[in-house]
A and B are shown apart, each in its own frame.
Chain A
Amino acid sequence: NAGVTQTPKFRVLKTGQSMTLLCAQDMNHEYMYWYRQDPGMGLRLIHYSVGEGTTAKGEVPDGYNVSRLKKQNFLLGLESAAPSQTSVYFCASTLTGMGEQYFGPGTRLTVT
């Protein structure tokens, strides 16, 4: 099992550009999450999904959109990137909402 994978690993964007981050899991997990991690801020939840076709806002959803068209994939989109979105993005999944989360390796995004 690959677990949780994220694509791409690194990306540099110019302000105003758009991009999509892909998260895939092969554990048949219902719940999937997108977090961002900034120095000194810990992990903050952006959006999450409790099953295929569902999405919900987390703590810091502004400027991001998500889609969960297939159970194994959770996409995070930035429509118009801003320097404030420079961060490391982590995807995670879990079988039940209250159980341990499995994390991907992260995507390091820089917006100039």
Chain B
Amino acid sequence: SQQGEEDPQALSIQEGENATMNCSYKTSINNLQWYRQNSGRGLVHLILIRSNEREKHSGRLRVTLDTSKKSSSLLITASRAADTASYFCATYNSGYSTLTFGKGTMLLVSP
């Protein structure tokens, strides 16, 4: 069964707006990662946040992690049309030794 579940399933915004995607998971984790997938392409790693971290930034990306609520959020600020893609969260638990991916959020950014 899949560990992470993203919300919403789809998000449509205008260029310049912020996009927020959420991820919830079920068991304890060592880290949580976010990936982007452009249509028909392989996944690209965006950011990794460890279980002892609460917030992390990378360019226009901001990730938060709340281990007490077993949830994470990905914020993309000042969205661009090029941000149109599917975004996946993935959790790593040392007991499983593998990443478990959610079903993703499809983001559409209109010019």
Q: Using CB atoms and an 8 Å cutoff, list the residues of chain A in contact with chain B.
A: 4, 33, 35, 40-45, 48, 50, 58, 90, 92, 97-106
Complex formed: what's the CA distance from A105 to B43 in Å?
Answer: 8
Task: Report B-chain residues with C-beta under 8 Å of the C-beta of A44.
Answer: 2, 101
Are B45 and A102 in contact, CB atoms less than 8 angstroms apart?
Answer: yes
Are A50 and B102 in contact, CB atoms less than 8 angstroms apart?
Answer: no
Highest count of chain B CB atoms <10 Å: which of A35, A44, A97, A105: A97
Are B33 and A90 in contact, CB atoms less than 8 angstroms apart?
Answer: no
Given contacts A43-B88, A44-B101, 18 further A-B contacts (CB under 8 A): A4-B42, A41-B103, A42-B2, A42-B88, A44-B2, A50-B97, A97-B92, A97-B98, A98-B92, A99-B48, A100-B33, A100-B48, A101-B33, A102-B45, A104-B42, A105-B41, A106-B40, A106-B41
Task: Report B-chain residues with C-beta under 8 Å of the C-beta of A103.
Answer: 42-44
Show 27 A/B contacts (Cβ-Cβ < 8 Å), sorted by A.
A4-B42, A35-B101, A42-B2, A42-B101, A42-B104, A43-B43, A43-B101, A44-B101, A45-B98, A45-B99, A45-B100, A48-B98, A92-B42, A92-B43, A97-B97, A98-B92, A98-B94, A100-B45, A100-B48, A101-B33, A101-B45, A101-B99, A102-B45, A103-B42, A103-B43, A104-B42, A106-B42
Q: When the two chains form the complex, which single residue of A40, A45, A98, A105 contacts B42, counting CB atoms closer than 8 Å?
A: A105
Nearest-neighbour CB distance to chain A for B6, whole angstroms, equals 9
Task: Report A-chain residues with C-beta under 8 Å of the C-beta of B28.
Answer: none
Does B110 interact with chain A (Cβ within 8 Å)? no
Complex formed: what's the CA distance from A102 to B101 in Å?
Answer: 14
Task: Report A-chain residues with C-beta under 8 Å of the C-beta of B88.
Answer: 42-43
Report B13-53 CB contacts with A as 1/0, cut-off 8 Å. Answer: 00000000000000000110101000011111100100000
Are B43 and A40 in contact, CB atoms less than 8 angstroms apart?
Answer: no
Nearest-neighbour CB distance to chain B for A112, whole angstroms, equals 21
Are A98 and B41 in contact, CB atoms less than 8 angstroms apart?
Answer: no
Complex formed: what's the CA distance from A41 to B100 in Å?
Answer: 12
What is the chain B residue whose CB lies nearest that of A48?
B98
